[in-house]
Structure 1
Amino acid sequence: AAPDGAAVPAFTLAMFGVGPDTHVASLFPGFAATAESVRTVVAVREAPKPPPTRITLTFPAIRAAHEVWLLAAGEDKADAVATARASSDAAETPAAGAYGTGATLWLLDRAAAAKLPE
């Protein structure tokens, strides 16, 4: 529930790209936004990629979605995908913390999946 007691808005489907640093939405590794547990949207300042000031959905909003799809393509995402699939530390590996209430689907090309175990 939101701070005022209202229900967190729930998406049927939420789709996010996974960055080479494992970020999803604008939830970057080590940033305070990854620790937000109440608000569904927060400001992000000094983001490591442009634009430096932005807003992002938080894990409470992402995790309220019925399905979360995570998309990664290219060799430069292979380490991020492998790290996220092996981690449970959402603060340092945000893609590991993005999951849905009903399903979580990883959509990968061969290059992005290259470092996953068989």
Structure 2
Amino acid sequence: SAAAAYAEELARAAGPENHGAVPSFDVLMLGVGPDTHVASLFPELPAVRETERTVVGVRGAPKPPPTRVTLTLPAIRAAREVWLLAAGEDKAQAAAIALSGAGEIQAPAAGARGRARTLWLLDSAAASQLPRSLYPPASS
């Protein structure tokens, strides 16, 4: 019921210029977990497979609290920009997996994209496993 109430609240805030039943957030900033989860969308759990609803309840989350409410990937992708933040060595493999073309069911961070831009914000430790091809060219 909490997910339905939140979805209704978002739908009320969405206008005709928005992209679906959520307001078109200018920026949606999300942390990336060491298992590639974003929001409360965990790999392989039912919530990451949702394609119709904008908000769902999550039961049995692998980290506390086990019961949560989260935006779905379609709701996240309605944002103009999605910024993904990861810091620390424990996030290095997650960033590498998500940026390597992994599927969003196995790596939810791979499916969190903005309509205009997706920006990854990584410290050196979180970026340590990325292939050099993903780094921007050096300035001269």
Q: Which category describes the TM-score, using the shorter chain as reference length?
A: over 0.9
Matched-pair identity in %: 64
The answer to whether residue 53 in structure 2 is matched with residue 39 in structure 1 is: yes
Could you say which structure has the larger radius of gyration? Answer: 2
The answer to whether residue 21 in structure 2 is matched with residue 8 in structure 1 is: yes
Is the 1:68–1:104 contact (alpha carbons within 8 Å) kept by the matching residues of 2? yes
Q: Which runs of 5+ in 1 are unaligned?
A: none
CA drift at 1:12: 1.0
Q: After superposition, what is the alpha-carbon deviation per residue over 1:12-55, rounded to whole angstroms, capped at 9, x for unaligned?
A: 11000000000000000000111111110000001000000000
Equivalent position of 1:89 in the other structure: 103
Equivalent position of 1:66 in the other structure: 80
CA drift at 1:65: 0.3
Q: Which runs of 5+ in 2 are unaligned?
A: 1-6, 15-19, 133-140
Q: After superposition, what is the alpha-carbon deviation per residue over 1:68-102, rounded to whole angstroms, capped at 9, x for unaligned?
A: 00000000000000000002410110000000000
Q: CA RMSD in A?
A: 1.5
- The separation in 2 between residues aligned to 1:38 and 1:89, in whole angstroms, is 18
Q: Which runs of structure 2 are paired with 1:11-30 in the superposition (5 Å)?
A: 11-30=25-44
Count of aligned pairs: 115
Runs of at least 4 residues of structure 1 off by over 2 A?
A: none
Equivalent position of 1:100 in the other structure: 114
Report the TM-score when normalising by structure 1: 0.93
Indicate the SS of the match to 1:16: strand
Report the TM-score when normalising by structure 2: 0.79
* Greater RCO structure (CA 8 Å; 6+ sep): 1
Is the 1:87–1:93 contact (alpha carbons within 8 Å) kept by the matching residues of 2? no
